[in-house]
Amino acid sequence: MNTAILSIILVPIIEIYLFIKIGAKIGAFNTILLIFLTALTGIIYARYEGLNTLKSGFSQMVKNEIPAYEMISGAAIAFGALLLIIPGFATDILGFLIIFPLTRKLIFRKVSRKFEKRENKKNKFIEGEFEDIDDDNDRKI
């Protein structure tokens, strides 16, 4: 089954389960308040981290370097902020993990290793040129 379809089905089920369990422990009002609090905190922190990433990207460009990490990091921060805006506890945890710089670097490292392994498997050939040499056309001494 496709990963996107599976996540569209499983994420709401997990979120509803967590709403019920956490709501039973701390109450409905506190659960709703916690959802709004995590969304607000996540948006503020995502803005802070996004501005830091933007500043770092500009410093890379001043040094005439390509800000590749900063571009990927900015996209990840935007995705993390989106996860924090979506109501739910599982998406909030994932969003916070993506927004924090330390865990974001660990996630990037793991994903890049996976792509490097895939890239190494594809490139098991050597490019080059060749020329056929006939023995009959060579001068013999």
Structural domain tally of the chain? 1
Percent of the chain with pLDDT over 90: 23
Q: Is residue 129 part of a domain?
A: no
Confidence of residue 21 (pLDDT cuts 50, 70, 90): very high
Is residue 135 included in any domain, yes or no?
Answer: no
pLDDT tens digits, 48-99: 888 888 888 888 888 888 888 888 888 888 898 889 888 889 999 999 899 8
What per-residue confidence (pLDDT) applies to 72?
87
**Does residue 122 lie within any of the structural domains?**
no
pLDDT of residue 117: 72
112 versus 141: the higher-pLDDT residue is 112
| Structure confidence at residue 60 (pLDDT) | 87
Residue 3, in any domain of the structure: no
Q: Round to whole Å and give the CA distance between 56 and 53.
A: 5
**Is residue 39 one of the residues assigned to a domain?**
yes
Asked if residue 101 is part of any domain, the answer here is yes
The predicted model scores a pTM of 0.71
Q: Is 137 a member of any domain?
A: no
| C-alpha span between 79 and 46 (Å, rounded) | 10
Q: Is residue 83 one of the residues assigned to a domain? A: yes
Which phi and psi angles does 103 have, rounded to 5°?
-70, -30
Q: How does residue 120 score in pLDDT terms, banded at 50, 70 and 90?
A: low
| CA distances from residue 36 to 21, 42, 65, 88 in whole angstroms, order as listed | 18, 10, 40, 10
Q: Note down the domain range covering 31.
A: 8-116
